Amino acid sequence: MTKHQAGQAALDPEMFDPVCPSPLVPFRVGDKWATMILRCLEEGPRRFSELKIPLRGVTAKSLTQSLRGLERDGFVVREEYEGTERRVEYALTPLGRGLLGPLDTACEWTREHWDELIDAQEASLARA
Protein backbone atom coordinates (compact mmCIF):
# COMPACT_ATOMS: atom_id res chain seq x y z
CA MET A 1 0.00 0.00 0.00
CA THR A 2 1.38 3.41 -0.90
CA LYS A 3 1.47 6.34 1.46
CA HIS A 4 -1.22 8.06 -0.67
CA GLN A 5 -3.50 5.09 -0.21
CA ALA A 6 -3.20 4.71 3.55
CA GLY A 7 -6.75 4.53 4.88
CA GLN A 8 -8.20 4.67 1.38
CA ALA A 9 -10.82 2.03 0.61
CA ALA A 10 -10.30 -0.31 -2.33
CA LEU A 11 -12.33 0.41 -5.43
CA ASP A 12 -15.59 -1.52 -5.55
CA PRO A 13 -15.58 -4.04 -8.42
CA GLU A 14 -19.31 -3.37 -8.84
CA MET A 15 -18.82 0.41 -8.95
CA PHE A 16 -20.08 0.51 -12.54
CA ASP A 17 -22.95 -1.89 -12.99
CA PRO A 18 -23.37 -3.00 -16.63
CA VAL A 19 -26.85 -1.42 -16.66
CA CYS A 20 -25.68 1.73 -14.87
CA PRO A 21 -26.63 5.01 -16.58
CA SER A 22 -22.97 6.05 -16.97
CA PRO A 23 -22.79 5.11 -20.68
CA LEU A 24 -25.99 7.09 -21.27
CA VAL A 25 -24.71 10.41 -19.92
CA PRO A 26 -25.46 12.71 -22.86
CA PHE A 27 -22.06 14.40 -22.93
CA ARG A 28 -18.55 13.05 -22.84
CA VAL A 29 -15.29 14.26 -21.46
CA GLY A 30 -12.69 12.50 -23.53
CA ASP A 31 -13.91 9.04 -24.46
CA LYS A 32 -16.23 6.29 -23.28
CA TRP A 33 -14.13 5.52 -20.18
CA ALA A 34 -13.00 9.01 -19.16
CA THR A 35 -15.83 9.96 -16.80
CA MET A 36 -15.67 6.58 -15.10
CA ILE A 37 -11.90 6.97 -14.64
CA LEU A 38 -12.49 10.39 -13.07
CA ARG A 39 -14.94 8.77 -10.64
CA CYS A 40 -12.38 6.10 -9.76
CA LEU A 41 -9.84 8.80 -8.90
CA GLU A 42 -12.28 10.84 -6.82
CA GLU A 43 -11.00 9.47 -3.48
CA GLY A 44 -7.32 9.75 -4.33
CA PRO A 45 -4.51 8.37 -6.49
CA ARG A 46 -4.87 4.90 -7.99
CA ARG A 47 -2.63 2.46 -9.80
CA PHE A 48 -3.48 1.15 -13.26
CA SER A 49 -4.28 -2.31 -11.86
CA GLU A 50 -6.71 -0.77 -9.34
CA LEU A 51 -8.57 1.09 -12.09
CA LYS A 52 -9.12 -2.13 -14.02
CA ILE A 53 -11.18 -3.61 -11.16
CA PRO A 54 -14.37 -1.53 -11.54
CA LEU A 55 -13.65 -0.90 -15.24
CA ARG A 56 -13.62 -4.62 -15.96
CA GLY A 57 -14.84 -4.16 -19.54
CA VAL A 58 -11.91 -1.95 -20.57
CA THR A 59 -8.88 -3.36 -22.34
CA ALA A 60 -5.41 -2.37 -21.15
CA LYS A 61 -4.91 -0.51 -24.44
CA SER A 62 -8.15 1.48 -24.10
CA LEU A 63 -7.43 2.32 -20.45
CA THR A 64 -3.94 3.51 -21.38
CA GLN A 65 -5.33 5.66 -24.22
CA SER A 66 -8.02 7.13 -21.94
CA LEU A 67 -5.51 7.95 -19.21
CA ARG A 68 -3.17 9.57 -21.73
CA GLY A 69 -6.04 11.66 -23.11
CA LEU A 70 -7.09 12.76 -19.62
CA GLU A 71 -3.48 13.63 -18.84
CA ARG A 72 -3.09 15.54 -22.12
CA ASP A 73 -6.26 17.53 -21.38
CA GLY A 74 -5.06 18.42 -17.87
CA PHE A 75 -7.60 16.36 -15.88
CA VAL A 76 -5.22 13.67 -14.60
CA VAL A 77 -1.57 13.61 -13.56
CA ARG A 78 0.64 10.53 -13.86
CA GLU A 79 3.33 10.08 -11.22
CA GLU A 80 6.15 7.56 -11.36
CA TYR A 81 7.75 6.39 -8.13
CA GLU A 82 11.18 4.79 -8.13
CA GLY A 83 12.44 2.45 -5.48
CA THR A 84 12.36 -1.21 -4.64
CA GLU A 85 8.87 -1.38 -6.08
CA ARG A 86 8.62 0.89 -9.13
CA ARG A 87 5.05 2.05 -9.54
CA VAL A 88 2.89 4.55 -11.37
CA GLU A 89 -0.16 6.29 -9.92
CA TYR A 90 -2.80 8.47 -11.50
CA ALA A 91 -4.52 11.31 -9.67
CA LEU A 92 -6.97 14.09 -10.43
CA THR A 93 -5.61 17.56 -11.01
CA PRO A 94 -7.55 20.55 -9.67
CA LEU A 95 -9.06 20.87 -13.17
CA GLY A 96 -10.15 17.23 -13.10
CA ARG A 97 -11.56 17.59 -9.59
CA GLY A 98 -13.53 20.58 -10.85
CA LEU A 99 -15.40 18.27 -13.24
CA LEU A 100 -16.84 16.12 -10.44
CA GLY A 101 -19.67 18.57 -9.63
CA PRO A 102 -20.83 18.87 -13.24
CA LEU A 103 -20.59 15.07 -13.56
CA ASP A 104 -22.84 14.71 -10.51
CA THR A 105 -25.36 17.01 -12.20
CA ALA A 106 -25.16 15.08 -15.48
CA CYS A 107 -25.59 11.75 -13.66
CA GLU A 108 -28.64 13.04 -11.80
CA TRP A 109 -30.14 14.32 -15.05
CA THR A 110 -29.48 10.93 -16.65
CA ARG A 111 -31.21 9.11 -13.78
CA GLU A 112 -34.24 11.41 -14.16
CA HIS A 113 -34.41 10.81 -17.92
CA TRP A 114 -33.29 7.16 -17.99
CA ASP A 115 -36.48 5.83 -19.58
CA GLU A 116 -36.51 8.53 -22.26
CA LEU A 117 -32.87 7.87 -23.14
CA ILE A 118 -33.46 4.11 -23.40
CA ASP A 119 -36.60 4.66 -25.51
CA ALA A 120 -34.70 6.98 -27.87
CA GLN A 121 -31.86 4.48 -28.30
CA GLU A 122 -34.25 1.60 -28.89
CA ALA A 123 -36.23 3.65 -31.43
CA SER A 124 -33.01 4.52 -33.22
CA LEU A 125 -32.00 0.85 -33.38
CA ALA A 126 -35.44 -0.12 -34.69
CA ARG A 127 -35.07 2.39 -37.55
CA ALA A 128 -31.59 1.14 -38.47
Which domain does 64 fall in, by range?
3-127
Rounded to whole angstroms, the Cα distance separating 8 from 82 reads: 22
Mean pLDDT of 71-86: 92
- Among the listed ranges 38-42, 72-76, 89-93, 103-107, which one has the minimum average pLDDT value? 103-107
**pLDDT value at residue 125:** 87
CATH number of the domain within which 16 lies: 1.10.10.10
Q: How many independent structural domains does the chain possess? A: 1
Distance from C-alpha of 41 to C-alpha of 83, rounded to nearest angstrom: 23
| The predicted structure's pLDDT at residue 1 | 47
